[in-house]
Structures are given as C-alpha cells and as structure tokens.
Amino acid sequence: MNTAIITGITGQDGAYLSELLLDKGYKVFGTYRRTSSVNFWRLAELGIENHPKLELVEYDLTDLSSSIRLLQQTGAKEVYNLAAQSFVGVSFDQPATTAEITGIGALNLLEAIRIVDKDIRFYQASTSEMFGKVQAVPQIESTPFYPRSPYGVAKLYAHWITVNYRESYGIHGSSGILFNHESPLRGREFVTRKITDSVAKIKLGLLDCLELGNLDARRDWGFAKEYVDGMWRMLQADEPDTFVLATNRTETVRDFVTMAFKAAGIELSFAGKDEGETAVDVETGKTVMRINPKFYRPAEVELLIGNPAKAREKLGWEPKTTLEELCRMMVEADLRRNGLGFSF
C-alpha cells in the first residue's frame, strides 16, 4: 500500500491533498501541531475527517528527533511538506519564527530522510513569493529569485536545501514553485477569501464595509484542488525536479473585488485613489469597500504571473478552472456558510 506523510494537514492544501491521496488508496499520516484546540474543519468540509485510512499525528517540524521518529514510525514512502508559517504579512512581525518553521522545518525533514531512508520521496511547498521583485515576466523555473518578505526568504532557503539534498545525496526531492491558489477552504486572512467572505457578509447584511490594503497588486490565482494534483505528479516522476504551477493569467486585487461582488449580484463603482479609494454599491449608494493602510506591507510583491509549460510538458499538469469560476465557487460557499450562521 502507498503510504504518505502530509505535514500541515489542517491547512487548505493539506486537506485537498489528503482527499486526493485517499481517493488513490493511500494510507495518509497527517501531521498537526499541538494546540489547546486543534481545528479539523477543512477535513470535515471534505467529509474525510474520519476516513479509516487517514491517521492524524501530532508532530513538531522544528524538532529533528521528532522528524526522525515520524519517518521511522510511519514507514511512509512519500513526504509532502506543506506545513509553514504561510502568511506573508505576519512574517514581517515574526521573522525568526517564520525562518524556523518555514525554512528549517524543511531541513529537519530532509535530514530525517537522509538518516532513516534515502528512498523516501520529498515534496517541498515552494512559492512564487521567491520571485518577489520579479526579474522577468512571466516567471519560469529559471527566473532569478528576489524575495521581498521574511516568508519569501525562508521559503527560498527551503527550496535551495531541497535542491542541495537532491544533488548531494541523490534524494528524490522536488520543489513545486506554486503561484497563489485559492478555494472555499482558503484561510480568511488571505485576500481572496477575505474578500469573498466579506462580500457574503455584506450581501446578507452582516457587515457594512470591507477594508483592504494594496489593490494594485497583481496575482496569478488558480484553484487549490488542481495544484495538489501537481504535487502528487511531481513525486511520481522518475526524476526529482523543480516545477512552476500557475495559470499564466494575472489580475489585480481590485479586479478580484469587482468579480466577487458581481458574483453576489452587486455592481460596484470605484472612486478616489491610493488611501482614499472606495467602492460604492451602485444600487444602494453605500460604501462597501475602503482602504485601511494597516493592510499595506513594508515591501510588496507587485506582479506575479507564472508560465507552467514545463509542468504541462513533463507532468501532463494543466490548470482548468477559470478565475471567474473559482471566485463564484468561493462566494457561493461563503454565502452558504454565513447564511447558516458560521464561517471559519
């Protein structure tokens, strides 16, 4: 039986990847960190919380001996390292913690693989944030990196240590440079879900106005469920490698705001600029979006757009869901959840 470890099982990608591997007949060990109240709502939303082949394991990825024991006790043949302090904004306030979890966490798993069994395959959740202040458009695997946040810097370490263990010890370690991917399971601190959740609340009369930071940032947004399939494909390939997963389309945060309100039947009119920019509901005349400078970042990634040609050619991977479909799916899920009186 195929056996895999997924670190970060409580996150968006951890949930979708678990679903995918369970559907393929894998035994999945999902790791979570100890907190006073662990929340498995995403696994519950997918209906896999109590799946007989899913075992939840407490694990601290900042601890090397804990990483070694994890591999020894599970006998897993594939490790997907998805756990991270993954919020760019927070990384400016907690740079050292971010380095420890997001950077050194990957090293601990690679060291454990080197010690326990070099044949274990490893996936590192790398990110388009490593391109940061972009050096070419669109970005591909060979585009030079220039991270713009402590998160991006930590991820760059994890990326290069994966490449280094591949080259030094022959470990099948692949790095997926994934561009932003979203879904109804996205955390509410990230901009797309913050927008769709707020749009739903405004539509239902539970909120007056959505507050955002930089509306001009451009992102290449895809559907998370399709991206976890790319992760799996990387570990099935004969050779480990580095792959970009992206849609090759970029839109501004402002475009996503317009799209989300439209999906809820609300037409917007924008006025003002910079910190004074607002959006008004054309029908009611009410201001439903305004800028709050507290959401600006000390250094911003202005433009991301990735070309996934290598993944298409070598892995047969392709994004299918359009941004309009994705946005609608997220707004509908948030309308349903808020309508039922809860929202995670």
Where along the sequence are the contacts to ligand GDR (CB under 6 A)? 86, 88-89, 127-129, 179-180, 189-191, 194, 212-214, 217, 219, 253, 295, 297, 300-301
Residue 129 designated active-site: yes
Mapped onto helix, strand or coil, the DSSP state of residue 271 is strand
Contact letters for ligand NDP, residues 47-66 (x by CB under 6 A): --------------x-----
Binding site partner of 214, from ligand GDR, ligand NDP, none, Cβ cut-off 5-8 A by kind: ligand GDR
Binding site partner of 14, from ligand GDR, ligand NDP, none, Cβ cut-off 5-8 A by kind: ligand NDP
Segment interacting with ligand NDP, rule: CB under 6 A, options 4-12, 114-122, 285-293, 312-320: 4-12
Residue 151 designated active-site: yes
What gap in Å lies between CA 309 and CA 247, rounded to an integer?
10
Binding site partner of 267, from ligand NDP, ligand GDR, none, Cβ cut-off 5-8 A by kind: none
Which is the catalytic residue, given 19, 129, 226, 251? Answer: 129
> DSSP letter at 139?
B
Q: How many CA atoms lie within 13 A of 11 on its CB side?
A: 24
Contact letters for ligand NDP, residues 181-200 (x by CB under 6 A): x-----x-------------
Classify the C-alpha dihedral 196-261-268-205 as positive or negative.
Answer: negative
Pair 147, 153: CB distance under 8 Å: yes
Q: In the complex with ligand NDP, which residue's Cβ is closer, 149 or 258?
A: 149
Please report which helix (H) or strand (E) contains residue 251, including its range. Answer: strand 251-252
Binding site partner of 11, from ligand GDR, ligand NDP, none, Cβ cut-off 5-8 A by kind: ligand NDP
Shortest reach from residue 284's CB to ligand NDP, in Å: 33
Segment interacting with ligand NDP, rule: CB under 6 A, options 142-150, 179-187, 230-238, 312-320: 179-187
Residue 49 designated active-site: no
Report H helices in the chain: 12-23, 41-45, 64-74, 88-93, 95-98, 105-116, 150-169, 191-203, 224-236, 253-263, 309-315, 323-339
Report H helices in 5-140: 12-23, 41-45, 64-74, 88-93, 95-98, 105-116
What gap in Å lies between CA 22 and CA 47, rounded to an integer?
12
CA torsion, ordered 309, 141, 305, 235, to nearest 10 deg: 70
* Interface positions with ligand NDP (CB under 6 A): 8, 10-14, 32-33, 61, 82-86, 101, 125, 127, 178, 180-181, 187
| Residues known to be catalytic | 127, 129, 151
